């Protein structure tokens, strides 16, 4: 019975990793849509969220079945509980990519970004996708050392976010209120995407060690 339990748990982790890969691809496509005012690509990102939500619901159901039928304890219980929380993190990552795509759709056929902001968001998109891919790898391997390295990539995103406001929006802004609101929201979406990837890493560390790095996870 324990062999069957661990096979099901491994399958659940693979499903979560696949979901994370999809979320990363959604953010990659959303970034390209943002940079090139590509409405078709933005619509593709929005449509993909429905599939990700279905996968998340199925993964949650599988995790609750493991809880109900196998009554796991200790490390096994941590693994199942972590999987349930990871479902929410990954679905939110996909949702943040959708937020980017919806701004592209709302402003189409105009470009959302002023030209001087393109470089910031191209780089933020690159880092976000890298974080998503690394979170996917961490979910597949369960490696707590790799999980800890997600924090370093998150610092890169935080630096980019700070520079966006201090170097770009801290100047004389000449693009109007609507553009300022869009840039502010977009910067927040990329930052939160990175935060959820790091939270996945924290949950993998918790699963492996029984303790969250730096204390309990943030509320909300």
Cβ(14)–Cβ(81) below 8 Å = no
Let me know if residue 126 belongs to a domain: yes
Let me know if residue 49 belongs to a domain: yes
Q: Which residue has the higher pLDDT, 87 or 207?
A: 87
Which CATH number is 92's domain given?
A: 1.20.58.220
Let me know if residue 4 belongs to a domain: yes
Domain range enclosing 119: 1-209
Let me know if residue 106 belongs to a domain: yes
How many independent structural domains does the chain possess? 1
Q: Which residue has the higher pLDDT, 96 or 77?
A: 96
pLDDT given at position 219 = 44
pLDDT given at position 157 = 95
Confidence check: pLDDT of 218 > 60: no
- Range in 51-55, 143-147, 173-177 the model is least confident about: 173-177
Let me know if residue 214 belongs to a domain: no
- State what percent of residues in the chain have pLDDT above 90: 70
């Amino acid at each position: 019975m324990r062999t069957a339990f661990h096979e099901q748990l491994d399958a659940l982790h693979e499903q979560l990793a696949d979901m994370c890969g999809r979320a990363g691809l959604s953010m990659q496509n959303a970034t390209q849509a943002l940079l090139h005012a590509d409405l078709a690509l933005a619509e593709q990102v929005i449509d993909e969220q429905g599939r990700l939500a279905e996968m998340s619901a199925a993964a949650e159901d599988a995790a609750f079945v493991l809880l109900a039928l196998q009554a796991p304890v200790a490390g096994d219980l941590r693994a199942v509980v972590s999987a349930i929380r990871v479902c929410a993190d990954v679905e939110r990552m996909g949702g943040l990519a959708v937020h980017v795509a919806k701004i592209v759709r709302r402003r189409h056929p105009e470009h959302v970004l002023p030209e001087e902001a393109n470089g910031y968001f191209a780089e933020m998109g690159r880092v976000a996708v890298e974080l998503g891919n690394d979170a996917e790898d961490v979910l597949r391997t369960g490696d707590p050392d790799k999980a800890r390295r997600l924090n370093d990539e998150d610092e890169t995103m935080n630096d980019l976010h700070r520079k966006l406001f201090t170097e770009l929006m801290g100047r004389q802004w000449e693009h109007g209120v609507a553009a300022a609101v869009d840039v502010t929201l977009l910067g927040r979406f990329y930052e939160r995407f990175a935060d959820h990837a790091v939270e996945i890493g924290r949950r993998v560390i918790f699963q492996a060690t029984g303790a969250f790095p730096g204390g309990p996870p943030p509320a909300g």
